[in-house]
Amino acid sequence: MLKLCARLRQQVPLESAQSTKHGVHRGMSSVTIPPPACMLRPLEAPFRYLFGPGPSNVPPRVLAAGGRPIIGHMHSEMFGIMNDIKKGIQYAFQTSNNMTLAMSGSGHTAMECALFNIVEPGESVLVAINGIWGERVAEISERMGAKVHTLVKTPGGHFTNAEIEQALAKHKPVLFFLTHGESSAGLVHPVDGVGDICHKYNCLLLVDSVASLGAAPLLMDQQNIDILYTGSQKALNAPPGTAPISFSERACHKMFNRKAKPVSYLLDMTHLSNYWGNDGKPERTYHHTGPVSGFFALRESLAILAETGLENSWKHHTEVAEYFWKGLEDLGLKLFIKDKDLRLPSVTTIAIPEGYNWKELLAYIMKHHRIEFTGGLGPSVGMLLRIGLMGYNCNKANAAMALAALEDALKQCRMSKA
């Protein structure tokens, strides 16, 4: 064997020379675009305190998990990790739903997965819009050919169960969408009783918990939520790119008895349910290459939540948020959500202080403190500032750091152009 290897090594230079002689070199000369200079330099990424609405800073333990050696996405060990993720999501969502998995993509991917699989062209959908996420769902549903009906309030507004029931009775939708944690306004929306009302009108309840999961109480089964999804990059503290989602039995019955296939092959739950071992078949078949490193990180973040305990996580986020809210009021700032019970613990919103240019405030804080805060999003642009303290970033030391940066900016940027 050693002699064979030696002969092969001797042949390589000769074969390479022959290849050049017979014209392979001419093929190489057709490369006219040189290597870009930026690709010949090492990757650089600055450290920043990500105190915006997400992504948030990732704990070392989760970063280490994501950096473990890659294994095949169809290896038995990978399936075992995916099974762990499913159980972790079931705990985080407080559900026993078998059809529980993580999407290969951001929370937006889970949003589209729910809509593409549940709604068919011509069916009615009711969307609660009090920020950007309702707007997105309405637009996606329209693109799919659904009949879209909306309940609309300005950012920070919320809907009573009576308002929701009245709209359900009028429009008779197959699906009602509600954002639990509306990060564009800093509002956590009441969910109690909404699922019962939806089922009274033979309607499924779809809830977005991207900004709220792990930070504010949410109980999928007890609150009769039919489809629930979240993102990895907020209070779960994993890198962006995976999105837990779960479907109730009612949702599965609607989803797997469609007249036509979903418009997206990638997001087709017929295939994804097999990839995640949820369809009862003995073997999983290839559908797409899942984000292996992303799943490693998600599994670790769910493990941290399980070790912490959901109720402890909710309590911790509330305590830090209340400490932060008091500090903001001591600075003379006004919280955008007046009702304390409707404030999202993970993302605090502040009314833009009178006489200040909000973009200048944010730029100053980023430049001098390396801290990211953000302005509004969608309909809340120009109305508020958003500061997120969630998961790994959720502690009083970070809250104090954020308050100090704000105080400094208010002194240095005073009475800029509005």
Same domain, 302 and 346: no
Same domain, 186 and 171: yes
Same domain, 248 and 133: yes
Domain termination site, one of 308, 325, 359: 308
Phi then psi for residue 355, to 5 deg, are 90, 0
pLDDT of 22 > 70? The answer is no
- The pLDDT assigned to 3 comes to 52
pLDDT tens for 98-141 read 999 999 999 999 999 999 999 999 999 999 999 999 999 999 99
Contacts of 202 (CB under 8 A, 6+ apart): 172
Domain extent at residue 260: 60-308
Same domain, 285 and 322: no
Please indicate, yes or no, if residue 382 is contained in any of the structural domains. yes
Percent pLDDT > 90 in the chain is 91
Number of domain units in the chain: 2
Mean pLDDT of the region 190-210: 98
List the beta strands (DSSP E) in 230-271: 242-247
Domain termination site, one of 308, 323, 338: 308
Please indicate, yes or no, if residue 47 is contained in any of the structural domains. no
Mean pLDDT of the region 353-359: 94
* Average pLDDT for the chain: 93
**What is the pTM (predicted TM-score) of this model?**
0.91
Please indicate, yes or no, if residue 213 is contained in any of the structural domains. yes
Q: Quick one: pLDDT band at residue 29, thresholds 50, 70, 90?
A: confident
Same domain, 160 and 116: yes
Please indicate, yes or no, if residue 284 is contained in any of the structural domains. yes
Same domain, 302 and 379: no
Same domain, 84 and 226: yes
Same domain, 227 and 135: yes
Query: How far does CA 32 lie from the centroid of its chain?
Result: 41
pLDDT of 414 > 90? The answer is no
CATH number at residue 159: 3.40.640.10
Cα dist from 1 to 4, 6, 8, 15, whole Å? 5, 9, 11, 21
Please indicate, yes or no, if residue 65 is contained in any of the structural domains. yes
Mean pLDDT of the region 393-411: 97
**Has 386 been labeled as part of a binding site?**
yes
pLDDT of 301 > 80? The answer is yes
Same domain, 117 and 210: yes
pLDDT of 13 > 80? The answer is no
User: Residue 65: what residue type?
Assistant: A
Q: Quick one: pLDDT band at residue 7, thresholds 50, 70, 90?
A: low
Same domain, 243 and 106: yes
